[in-house]
């Protein structure tokens, strides 16, 4: 399943979750659900960053002259 949201949208959502958890005003069950959601968002962000790094490496790699 591909997420249609931009990296920036995913990052913002993750930041919002972290802020809610840091405030400590969330019920335990809700905190666990938020933590799990945050883990998934983090994984998606990392995957997108790795993909971007690979594309940049491909674009900046020296090309062999034919």
Q: Where are the beta strands (DSSP E) in 1-66?
A: none
Work out the angle at residue 31's Cα, subtended by the Cα atoms of residues 14 and 4, and round it to the nearest 5 degrees: 30
What does the mean pLDDT of the chain come to? 93
Q: Which pairs with CB-CB distance under 8 Å and at least 24 residues apart come from 34-42?
A: 38/14, 41/10, 41/13, 41/14, 41/17, 42/14
Provide the CB-side half-sphere exposure for 64 (13 A, CA): 1
Q: Which of 27-31, 38-42, 59-63 has the lowest mean pLDDT?
A: 59-63
Q: What is the pTM of this model?
A: 0.80
């Amino acid at each position: 399943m591909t997420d249609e949201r931009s990296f920036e949208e995913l990052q913002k959502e993750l930041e919002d979750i972290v802020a809610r958890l840091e405030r400590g005003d969330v019920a335990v069950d809700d905190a666990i659900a938020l933590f799990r959601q945050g883990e998934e968002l983090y994984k998606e962000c990392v995957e997108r960053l790795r993909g971007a790094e690979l594309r940049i490496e491909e674009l900046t790699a020296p090309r062999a002259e034919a």
